[in-house]
Amino acid sequence: MNKKSKIMRRRESVVFLSKKIPFNIIIAILFIFILTPNFTFSKENETLPYLEIGITKSILINPSIGYWYNKKGIRISGMYLNKNSNELHINFGYSLYDSRRTQHSINLLTSWITGSDPGADYKYAATGVAYSLNYRGFFFELGLAYPWRDDIGNLKNDPVVPCGYIGYIYRFRPK
């Protein structure tokens, strides 16, 4: 490797590291932490097992079902409309905070998606990490996933794809 290519590699890495996080995302994260008083990792937040059922939306409107035991949980959601429009999401979560009205969790997720946007078709599978918030049933999840299978080939230059869900999930939490 010659000196010029080393300098170019160093410049590329500096440009990659200097991309700024949008100000709106920082404000949204701060707002989430302000919403939840007493944000702790203590044992007093452990709860009895409970079920959750709801409706979420990413590309399609999906039914969702989940089960939480203490701080660990699983959530499955998906919909099959036809061979060109379907999705399935599986989340394994760890609850950071869980009260009667608010739940914060970090999730390991895997998604299989087939769909289309104006000008692009998608058929891929991706695995990643996401943060989710359930506040009085309102559900919001945002994360990044690595597309490990791309049947059409339009994600070959994307190292990660955003994944996000919004909807309503009712938690059947014991009193």
- DSSP helix/strand/coil, 2: coil
Residue 121: other Cβ atoms inside 10 A: 12
The model carries a pTM of 0.70
Measured CA to CA, the distance from residue 89 to residue 62 in angstroms comes to 9
Instruction: Compare 16 and 9 and report the one with higher pLDDT.
Output: 9
Among 37-41, 86-90, 167-171, name the one with the lowest average pLDDT.
37-41
pLDDT given for residue 42 in this prediction: 47
| Averaged pLDDT of the chain | 80
Task: Write down the residue that tokens 């998604």 correspond to.
Answer: 111
Query: How many residues in total does the chain contain?
Result: 175
Q: Which helix (H) or strand (E) holds 32?
A: helix 23-35
- Identify the band that residue 139 occupies on the pLDDT scale cut at 50, 70 and 90: very high
Residue 157: other Cβ atoms inside 10 A: 6
pLDDT given for residue 60 in this prediction: 87
pLDDT given for residue 9 in this prediction: 47
